Amino acid sequence: MQVAFFSTKSYDRTFFDRFNNGHSFTYFENKLDHRSVALASDHDAVCVFVNDVLDQPILEALAKSGIRLIALRCAGYNNVDLDAAKRLGIGVVRVPAYSPHAVAEHAVALILTLNRKTHKAYNRVREGNFSLERLEGFDLYGKTVGVVGTGKIGEVFAGILQGFGCRVLAYDPYPNAALESRGIAYVEKDTLLAQSDILSLHCPLTPETHHFIDEAALQKLKPGMMLINTSRGALIDTHAVVKALKDQRVGYLGIDVYEQEADFFFQDLSDSIIHDDLLMRLLTFPNVLITSHQGFFTEEALTQIAQITLANLSACEQGKYLDENTIVKPA
C-alpha cells in the first residue's frame, strides 16, 4: 500500500521503517488538516495520530483523492467522524491496545512527582540547595484512589496502586470482573468523587464523557485531592479546574492531555509566543504538572504500535479487516 503518514516525528520513521513489510511510506511532518489534506493524493491510505483532524470535509477530500483507509496509530478515535467515513466507504482501523503499562505507569509517574516533588528536588540539589522546605509529600499507602474507566489501562493502573497499599475504587458502566475479584469495588460517580484522595481518568472521550470533570463534579471532590488525566483533554473542563485550583478544592493536577493540545503538543515551541492563556495560567500553579501526551512513549508501545498498524495495512490490502482493530469496515 502507498501510505501517507501525517504528524510524523523521527521516532515514527524509526519504528515504522524497522518493521515495514513491503508497504511504501511517505512521511509528512504536517498535521492532517484542511491545508495539508492535498498531500494525501496518490496514496491508498493515510496513517494518522491523536491530533490529526478527520472531520467530514477532510474525509470528503480524502475520498475524492482515492484514499480507502485510515490507519490510526493510536487507540482513541474521537478525532474521526465515523459516520462520514462509513458513508464515504473509507475503512478505519486502529491500535486498540499497545502496552497499557506505558500509559498506566506514566499516570503513576505524575502522581509520584506531584506528591514527592522530585522534579523540584532534582533542580534544587543541582544548584546546591539541600533544604527540604516545601518538599513534604504524603504516603500513598492507605489512600483512596478512584479509577474512572477500568479497561486495559485502568486495570493495570488499579493493580499498580493496589501494590502501593491503596484502597482502589472504580467507576465504569461496564464493570471488569477481574478487578472485582481483586477486591476493587465499583461505586457511583458521586461516591467516587467524594471519597477519592487521587482520581485518575482512563475512559475514552465520547459525547457522554465530555467534561466528565465539570464545575458540578469539582464541587463534589474531596478538598485538596489530586486529579490525574492521561486519557483525553476534554474529559476535564479546564476553565472550571483552574477555578478549583485557585480555591484549593483541587490540591494537585497532573495532566498528560489538554483540551487544546493540538496547537502545541509534540512541538518544540520554546522560542515562540504561546497565545493560549488558559494553558499559561495552568503553568503558573506550583501544584500542576503537565506532560505533552507522552504516556504512550515507551519502546514497547512504539514497537507494538508499528507492528499492529503494519498488520492492519497488510490485512486491509487483502480485503481482510482484522475484527479487533476495525472501527469502520467499508460495505
Q: Which residues are catalytic?
A: 232, 261, 293
31 binds ligand NAD (CB under 6 A): no
User: Of residues 21, 127, 174, 181, which one binds ligand NAD by CB under 6 A?
Assistant: 174
Residue 16's H or E segment, with its range, is helix 10-19
277 binds ligand NAD (CB under 6 A): no
User: Of residues 127, 136, 188, 208, which one binds ligand NAD by CB under 6 A?
Assistant: 208
Residue bearing cell 466507504: 89
Q: Give CA–CA dist 235/257, Å, rounded.
A: 9
Q: Quote the DSSP letter at residue 197.
A: S
Judge whether 199 and 222 are in contact, CB under 8 Å: no
Considering only residues 60 to 99 of the shown chain, the ones binding ligand NAD according to CB under 6 A are 75-76, 97
Closer residue to ligand NAD in complex, CB, 1/176: 176
209 binds ligand NAD (CB under 6 A): yes
152 binds ligand NAD (CB under 6 A): yes
User: Of residues 5, 92, 100, 313, which one binds ligand NAD by CB under 6 A?
Assistant: 100
- Report the side by side order of strands in the sheet with 288-290: 185-186, 167-171, 144-148, 198-201, 225-229, 250-255, 288-290
Q: Give CA–CA dist 3/16, Å, rounded.
A: 11
Residue 227: strand, helix, or coil: strand
Of 159, 254, 244, 252, the residue nearest 201 (C-alpha) = 254
Closer residue to ligand NAD in complex, CB, 151/159: 151
User: Of residues 15, 265, 296, 321, which one binds ligand NAD by CB under 6 A?
Assistant: 296
Where does this chain bind ligand NAD (CB under 6 A)?
75-76, 97, 100, 103, 148-154, 171-174, 202-205, 208-209, 230-232, 256-257, 293, 295-296
